Structure 1
């Protein structure tokens, strides 16, 4: 028979992100999705689809190039900030071992995809 203490487990915080320590990835992944969406749905889109690029066509080469700091408009800055926020969230939810696996990634999408590939495998592995 369970004691009263064992009958009620403490719930998770709605304001504190779920930490990932390398186990039970699917459970963590699903909780993380809802956590990020509850902060800002656009952050979740950045994680899943990647950041919106701030590019311009170079007048000399007629090719796309990243905008310089001085060419960025307000919308570009918001998009760059969203990617930085998403990266910050993802970096802060990983323990040191998991962080070392993704520390070279340049975007939140790249981090998320790398975590999924490490823990779930890629499509070739899943098939």
Structure 2
């Protein structure tokens, strides 16, 4: 059996639902390929000096290639209707930031979504004919969404809600 450095799992195609889950999967995927740093940091190639050594030029070209690979990875995991919104952007960071802006919204939108999720969490109650498994899944889904928005929701609070 031959060993391969290539990741064996693929990130699902983002189709406008479950953005936060897609982001986590995509970050891990890009990290596994050694490409996440070019998404996080968008260095200006025009800052390149005129008298480069061969090693500096080689490193510069490798960085450009990494950006192209990261951009290809991101593009390949977007549905066509989402791709058309970002296809004019040329760096992985600009694509990442645009997707974040479109699907997360600004601070006010995030706060509103978080408040809605907190209210949903507090109002969530098990129905008479509902299976424990189904209620638990709903509860964990809302709790995880709250956590994805950066809110600290202790496990004890979720367990307490399950036992009510």
TM-score, structure 1 normalization? 0.69
Aligned residue number for residue 105 of structure 2: 121
Q: Which structure: larger Rg?
A: 2
Gaps of 5+ in 2: 1-6, 112-164
Aligned residue number for residue 75 of structure 1: 59
CA distance in 1, matches of 2:90, 2:43: 10
Pick aligned residue for 2:89 from 95, 105, 108: 105
Aligned residue number for residue 17 of structure 2: 23
Aligned residue number for residue 96 of structure 1: 80
Which structure shows the bigger proportion of residues in strand conformation? 1
Pick aligned residue for 2:71 from 82, 87, 98: 87
Aligned residue number for residue 53 of structure 1: 45
Q: Is the 8 A contact 1:83 1:107 kept in 2?
A: yes
Q: Which string of whole-angstrom CA distances, capped at 9 and with x for unpartnered residues, describes residues 10-33 of structure 1?
A: xxx843232111111011111111
Q: Taking CA–CA contacts closer than 8 Å with sequence separation of 6 or more, which of the two structures ends up with the larger relative contact order?
A: 1
CA distance in 2, matches of 1:106, 1:86: 11
Aligned residue number for residue 8 of structure 1: none
CA distance in 2, matches of 1:17, 1:126: 24
Aligned residue for 2:45, secondary structure, equals: coil
CA distance in 2, matches of 1:101, 1:120: 15
TM-score, structure 2 normalization? 0.55
Gaps of 5+ in 1: 1-12, 59-66
CA RMSD of aligned residues (A): 2.4
Give the length in aligned residue pairs. Answer: 101
